[in-house]
Amino acid sequence: MSHVQMSTDGVLLLVRSLIYCQRVRAVELKPQGEAFIKFVNMKAEQATCRLTQYTLSSGDVEKLSGILEQCPHLFDLDLSSNLLRDEGVKSFVDSLPRLRIASSVNLNDNRLTQMGALYLVNTVTTCEKVAAVEVSLGTEERSLIRFEQDSDCGKTLSLSECHFGADHLQRLAEILTRCAAQLVELRLSCNILQREGLLALQNSLTTLSSLRTLE
Protein backbone atom coordinates (compact mmCIF):
# COMPACT_ATOMS: atom_id res chain seq x y z
CA MET A 1 0.00 0.00 0.00
CA SER A 2 2.89 2.35 -0.71
CA HIS A 3 2.07 6.05 -1.25
CA VAL A 4 -1.68 5.49 -0.90
CA GLN A 5 -3.57 8.63 0.13
CA MET A 6 -6.10 7.85 2.87
CA SER A 7 -8.30 9.90 5.15
CA THR A 8 -7.72 9.66 8.88
CA ASP A 9 -10.87 7.54 9.17
CA GLY A 10 -9.42 5.20 6.54
CA VAL A 11 -6.20 4.91 8.51
CA LEU A 12 -8.09 4.13 11.71
CA LEU A 13 -10.09 1.49 9.86
CA LEU A 14 -6.85 -0.29 8.99
CA VAL A 15 -5.70 -0.06 12.62
CA ARG A 16 -8.88 -1.95 13.53
CA SER A 17 -7.39 -5.00 11.82
CA LEU A 18 -5.48 -5.52 15.08
CA ILE A 19 -8.82 -6.34 16.66
CA TYR A 20 -10.62 -8.15 13.89
CA CYS A 21 -7.83 -10.43 12.66
CA GLN A 22 -5.84 -12.41 15.24
CA ARG A 23 -3.11 -13.14 12.67
CA VAL A 24 -2.08 -9.48 12.37
CA ARG A 25 1.25 -8.90 14.10
CA ALA A 26 2.04 -5.39 12.81
CA VAL A 27 0.28 -2.37 11.34
CA GLU A 28 2.65 0.27 9.95
CA LEU A 29 1.13 3.27 8.22
CA LYS A 30 2.45 6.61 7.00
CA PRO A 31 1.24 8.92 4.23
CA GLN A 32 4.56 9.13 2.38
CA GLY A 33 6.37 5.84 1.89
CA GLU A 34 5.60 2.21 2.59
CA ALA A 35 2.49 1.26 4.52
CA PHE A 36 1.64 -2.32 5.31
CA ILE A 37 -0.07 -4.88 7.51
CA LYS A 38 1.97 -7.95 8.48
CA PHE A 39 0.47 -11.35 9.22
CA VAL A 40 1.62 -14.57 10.83
CA ASN A 41 0.31 -18.08 10.14
CA MET A 42 -1.08 -18.58 13.63
CA LYS A 43 -2.62 -16.26 16.20
CA ALA A 44 -0.20 -13.40 16.92
CA GLU A 45 0.96 -13.40 20.54
CA GLN A 46 2.14 -9.79 20.27
CA ALA A 47 1.33 -6.95 17.90
CA THR A 48 2.87 -3.60 17.08
CA CYS A 49 1.25 -0.46 15.71
CA ARG A 50 3.19 2.29 13.98
CA LEU A 51 1.28 5.34 12.82
CA THR A 52 3.62 8.17 11.83
CA GLN A 53 3.79 11.43 9.86
CA TYR A 54 0.08 12.14 9.94
CA THR A 55 -1.59 15.20 11.46
CA LEU A 56 -3.78 13.82 14.22
CA SER A 57 -6.22 15.98 16.17
CA SER A 58 -7.25 15.32 19.76
CA GLY A 59 -10.45 13.78 18.40
CA ASP A 60 -8.44 11.47 16.15
CA VAL A 61 -6.35 10.41 19.14
CA GLU A 62 -9.49 9.63 21.14
CA LYS A 63 -10.78 7.43 18.31
CA LEU A 64 -7.42 5.68 18.00
CA SER A 65 -7.25 5.07 21.74
CA GLY A 66 -10.76 3.62 21.68
CA ILE A 67 -9.59 1.11 19.07
CA LEU A 68 -6.39 0.23 20.89
CA GLU A 69 -8.29 -0.36 24.13
CA GLN A 70 -9.74 -3.43 22.42
CA CYS A 71 -6.31 -4.86 21.57
CA PRO A 72 -5.07 -6.93 24.54
CA HIS A 73 -1.76 -8.02 22.97
CA LEU A 74 -0.22 -4.71 21.90
CA PHE A 75 3.55 -4.70 22.44
CA ASP A 76 4.81 -1.41 20.99
CA LEU A 77 3.03 1.73 19.82
CA ASP A 78 4.73 4.38 17.67
CA LEU A 79 2.92 7.71 17.27
CA SER A 80 5.94 9.81 16.38
CA SER A 81 5.83 12.80 14.01
CA ASN A 82 2.05 13.27 14.06
CA LEU A 83 1.89 16.93 15.14
CA LEU A 84 -0.02 15.89 18.24
CA ARG A 85 1.16 18.93 20.21
CA ASP A 86 0.24 19.25 23.89
CA GLU A 87 -3.50 18.77 23.34
CA GLY A 88 -3.12 15.52 21.42
CA VAL A 89 -0.65 14.12 23.93
CA LYS A 90 -2.99 14.98 26.79
CA SER A 91 -5.81 13.15 25.01
CA PHE A 92 -3.57 10.12 24.63
CA VAL A 93 -2.24 9.98 28.20
CA ASP A 94 -5.77 10.37 29.56
CA SER A 95 -6.59 7.04 27.89
CA LEU A 96 -3.30 5.36 28.78
CA PRO A 97 -4.51 3.55 31.94
CA ARG A 98 -7.06 1.73 29.79
CA LEU A 99 -4.51 0.55 27.20
CA ARG A 100 -2.67 -2.75 27.54
CA ILE A 101 0.77 -2.05 26.09
CA ALA A 102 3.56 -4.40 27.10
CA SER A 103 6.71 -2.52 26.11
CA SER A 104 6.71 1.13 25.02
CA VAL A 105 5.06 4.14 23.39
CA ASN A 106 7.10 6.39 21.10
CA LEU A 107 5.84 9.99 20.91
CA ASN A 108 8.94 11.59 19.41
CA ASP A 109 8.73 14.75 17.35
CA ASN A 110 5.22 15.94 18.17
CA ARG A 111 6.06 19.60 18.86
CA LEU A 112 5.53 19.55 22.60
CA THR A 113 6.05 22.40 25.03
CA GLN A 114 6.92 22.15 28.71
CA MET A 115 3.24 21.53 29.48
CA GLY A 116 3.18 18.55 27.13
CA ALA A 117 6.28 17.21 28.84
CA LEU A 118 4.49 17.42 32.19
CA TYR A 119 1.49 15.54 30.78
CA LEU A 120 3.88 12.72 29.95
CA VAL A 121 5.65 12.88 33.32
CA ASN A 122 2.31 12.65 35.12
CA THR A 123 1.72 9.16 33.67
CA VAL A 124 3.98 7.74 36.38
CA THR A 125 1.22 8.65 38.84
CA THR A 126 -1.84 7.82 36.72
CA CYS A 127 -0.77 4.56 35.07
CA GLU A 128 0.51 1.82 37.35
CA LYS A 129 2.48 -0.05 34.67
CA VAL A 130 4.48 2.97 33.48
CA ALA A 131 8.06 2.28 34.55
CA ALA A 132 9.94 5.09 32.81
CA VAL A 133 9.30 8.38 31.05
CA GLU A 134 11.97 10.06 28.95
CA VAL A 135 11.44 13.55 27.52
CA SER A 136 13.81 15.88 25.69
CA LEU A 137 12.61 19.14 24.15
CA GLY A 138 15.90 19.81 22.40
CA THR A 139 16.53 20.02 18.67
CA GLU A 140 15.85 16.30 18.42
CA GLU A 141 12.59 16.09 20.35
CA ARG A 142 12.27 12.79 22.18
CA SER A 143 9.33 11.43 24.17
CA LEU A 144 9.20 7.81 25.27
CA ILE A 145 7.08 5.88 27.77
CA ARG A 146 8.21 2.42 28.87
CA PHE A 147 6.12 -0.16 30.66
CA GLU A 148 6.92 -2.92 33.13
CA GLN A 149 4.49 -5.66 34.03
CA ASP A 150 6.00 -5.86 37.53
CA SER A 151 4.73 -2.73 39.25
CA ASP A 152 7.29 -3.15 42.06
CA CYS A 153 10.30 -2.39 39.86
CA GLY A 154 10.31 1.35 40.61
CA LYS A 155 9.92 4.30 38.26
CA THR A 156 12.40 6.43 36.34
CA LEU A 157 12.11 9.99 35.00
CA SER A 158 14.55 11.55 32.54
CA LEU A 159 13.95 15.18 31.53
CA SER A 160 16.53 16.98 29.42
CA GLU A 161 16.52 20.37 27.68
CA CYS A 162 13.04 21.11 29.00
CA HIS A 163 14.01 24.45 30.61
CA PHE A 164 11.00 24.55 32.93
CA GLY A 165 9.75 27.88 34.23
CA ALA A 166 8.66 28.48 37.82
CA ASP A 167 5.08 27.30 37.25
CA HIS A 168 6.28 24.17 35.47
CA LEU A 169 8.70 23.36 38.28
CA GLN A 170 5.89 23.74 40.81
CA ARG A 171 3.79 21.26 38.82
CA LEU A 172 6.76 18.91 38.50
CA ALA A 173 7.30 19.07 42.25
CA GLU A 174 3.67 18.10 42.84
CA ILE A 175 4.01 15.11 40.52
CA LEU A 176 7.22 13.99 42.22
CA THR A 177 5.55 14.16 45.61
CA ARG A 178 2.70 11.94 44.40
CA CYS A 179 5.13 9.24 43.23
CA ALA A 180 7.63 9.64 46.08
CA ALA A 181 7.47 6.01 47.18
CA GLN A 182 8.02 4.60 43.66
CA LEU A 183 10.56 6.93 42.03
CA VAL A 184 14.05 5.38 42.02
CA GLU A 185 15.82 7.48 39.38
CA LEU A 186 15.50 11.16 38.41
CA ARG A 187 17.59 12.78 35.68
CA LEU A 188 17.36 16.54 35.03
CA SER A 189 20.41 17.05 32.83
CA CYS A 190 20.83 19.98 30.40
CA ASN A 191 18.08 22.13 31.91
CA ILE A 192 18.04 25.82 32.74
CA LEU A 193 15.93 26.03 35.89
CA GLN A 194 14.60 29.32 37.22
CA ARG A 195 15.41 30.16 40.81
CA GLU A 196 11.76 30.75 41.75
CA GLY A 197 10.78 27.17 41.05
CA LEU A 198 13.87 25.51 42.42
CA LEU A 199 12.73 25.83 46.04
CA ALA A 200 9.51 23.89 45.36
CA LEU A 201 11.50 21.27 43.49
CA GLN A 202 14.08 21.07 46.27
CA ASN A 203 11.36 20.56 48.88
CA SER A 204 9.80 17.73 46.87
CA LEU A 205 13.15 15.95 46.62
CA THR A 206 13.21 15.49 50.39
CA THR A 207 10.06 13.34 50.12
CA LEU A 208 11.54 10.88 47.59
CA SER A 209 12.18 8.03 49.98
CA SER A 210 13.00 5.45 47.26
CA LEU A 211 15.26 7.65 45.13
CA ARG A 212 18.63 6.02 44.36
CA THR A 213 19.91 8.17 41.48
CA LEU A 214 19.67 11.94 40.98
CA GLU A 215 21.47 13.62 38.10
**Is-same-fold flag (1-107; 112-215)?**
yes
The pLDDT tens digits for 15-26 are 999 999 999 999
Q: Give the architecture (CATH level 2) of 1-107.
A: Alpha-Beta Horseshoe (3.80)
Domain ranges in the chain are 1-107, 112-215
Q: What is the pLDDT of residue 151?
A: 64
Distance in angstroms (rounded) separating the CA atoms of residues 101 and 47: 10
The residue that leads in pLDDT, 74 or 197, is: 74
The pLDDT tens digits for 21-66 are 999 999 999 987 778 899 999 988 999 999 999 999 999 999 999 9
The pLDDT tens digits for 116-131 are 999 999 999 999 999 9
Largest CA distance in the chain: 59
Q: What is the pLDDT of residue 3?
A: 60
The residue that leads in pLDDT, 105 or 206, is: 105
Q: Give the architecture (CATH level 2) of 112-215.
A: Alpha-Beta Horseshoe (3.80)
